[in-house]
Amino acid sequence: MNKDIVSLGSLINLIESYENKENSRVLHLAKRSFLHREITLDNSILSKDKSKQVKMEEILNKINSLRLEGETSYDILNPLFRELVKLIDLEK
């Protein structure tokens, strides 16, 4: 994964905790971390292409809205995360 997406750390940690089938304590901490930290993207990651930048911001806003609603489901967050990562990786 691209080192520039470190600002997505709590989301990455949550996704990986699900994928690694971590124990309930680790998963609880990952969920808690995700729910208490707004997800942001560093300006160096944002696309210079306005349409891609808008798409990235839309995904980020959706993830943060879900976070504020207390949503931590892998099935909901993972597709959004993967879509965001694809947009970031296109820029490198």
Please list, in sequence order, all residues whose beta carbon lies within 8 angstroms of the beta carbon of residue 53, skipping any fewer than 6 positions away. 46, 47
**Backbone φ and ψ of 60, nearest 5°:** -60, -45
DSSP letter (8 states) at residue 4 = G
pLDDT of residue 1: 44
Residue in the block written with tokens 């520039």: 4
Say if CB 70 and CB 81 are below 8 A apart: no
From first to last of its 92 residues, the chain has per-residue pLDDT tens of 444 555 788 999 999 999 999 999 999 999 999 999 998 876 666 667 778 888 988 999 999 999 999 999 999 999 999 998 888 755 44
pTM over 0.85: no
pLDDT (0 to 100) of residue 63: 97
Task: Name which of 85, 87, 88 is nearest 11 in CA terms.
Answer: 85
